[in-house]
Structure 1
Amino acid sequence: MGSKSDLDTMRLASEVLRELEIPHETKIISAHRTPDLMFEFAKNAKDRGIKVIIAGAGGAAHLPGMVASITELPVIGVPVKSSNLNGLDSLLSIVQMPKGVPVATVAIGQSGAENSALLAGKILALSDKEVSKRIKNRISENSMNVAKDSHIGTWLE
């Protein structure tokens, strides 16, 4: 994530990754304030065994795109809500990438953080049967929870 202020949002991604038993690391790396560290991280991520990068950032939100420009790994960008434009600035900064620099962009804020972890899990599940099973279980649990709530209309009558 780009700064400590992004932690409240990005914490959800970490929680989902833990739930799915996917090893991960959490770092604060700023594209603007620590560009050398960002470059080193992105350049060496694959050699360190990382398979997918989730990058959350707010405001100018250049971290996901800059990381994607350096690494061959998939990058998932999470737009973090900013105080000025409620995250729209972050979303546009991440989603409007030039040709040849793909960033899979999810929703603004906490939903996006959770979905980024699920998307990373689905990417990893393509080559990891255990992760695939855990993803399938989570999808089933979600479906069952929604099905339980489907009778809400009778409560409202």
Structure 2
Amino acid sequence: MAKVLILMGSDSDFDTMKKAAKILREMDIPFELDVCSAHRTPDRAKKYAEEAEARGIEVIIAAAGMAAHLAGFIAAHTTLPVIGVPVASGALNGFDSLLSTVQMPPGIPVATVAINGAENAGWLACQILSLKYPDVKEKVKQKRKEMYNKVLEKSEKIKRELD
């Protein structure tokens, strides 16, 4: 059963959101991914939000560009944690998306990552789930250790090149 729901406002967001899906796959976290627009399919988006918890979803990642209302719309219809991914698009190259996603009224929070920050959205979903699932916590710790070691390897490589 899926623990994370990834919703995209448009299929054009898929190239960005594949990065979140990749992280969840690497961490063996089951997820669903679908296109659902806050503006073009509001009834469908509302249904996803309202039924997510009953279906076993524990975290929702919502991505959209331009007006980028999907994450806020979803957050307004569920108490599950919602992570917003503003997608670079339009004349402002994602800045409008960032502001639309991050500027939420009190009581309806959306945890917002950087423009096109789907990879960090995936990691944040893992960290949220790690509060409940010790195996996920251990995998996150292991990945962090791998990242740490890669930095050390790069540091040593640079030092060797100076010699």
**TM tier, smaller:** over 0.9
Task: Report the secondary structure of 2:32's partner residue.
Answer: coil
Q: Which residue of 1 aligns with 2:77?
A: 70
Letter in 2 for 1:139: R
Mind listing any 5+ residue stretches in structure 1 that lack a counterpart?
none
Letter in 2 for 1:121: C
Which of residues 124, 130, 142 in structure 1 aligns to 2:129? 124
Q: Which residue of 1 aligns with 2:56?
A: 49
Q: Which residue of 1 aligns with 2:4?
A: none
1:155 aligns with 2:161: yes
More strand by share: 2
Aligned residue pairs, count: 155
TM-score (norm 1): 0.95
Task: Report the secondary structure of 1:33's partner residue.
Answer: coil
1:115 aligns with 2:120: yes
1:21 aligns with 2:28: yes
**1-side partners of 2:154 and 2:112: how far apart?**
29
Which of residues 130, 134, 138 in structure 1 aligns to 2:139? 134
Mind listing any 5+ residue stretches in structure 2 that lack a counterpart?
1-7
**2-side partners of 1:156 and 1:2: how far apart?**
48
Task: Report the secondary structure of 1:142's partner residue.
Answer: helix
1:39 aligns with 2:34: no
TM-score (norm 2): 0.92
State the 1:154 CA deviation.
4.6
**1-side partners of 2:159 and 2:84: how far apart?**
37
**2-side partners of 1:133 and 1:94: how far apart?**
31
Q: Once superposed, which parts of structure 1, at least 4 consecutive aligned residues long, lie more than 4 Å away?
A: none
Q: Percent identity of the aligned residues?
A: 55
State the 1:155 CA deviation.
2.6
State the 1:86 CA deviation.
1.3
**2-side partners of 1:60 and 1:153: how far apart?**
47
**2-side partners of 1:155 and 1:80: how far apart?**
38
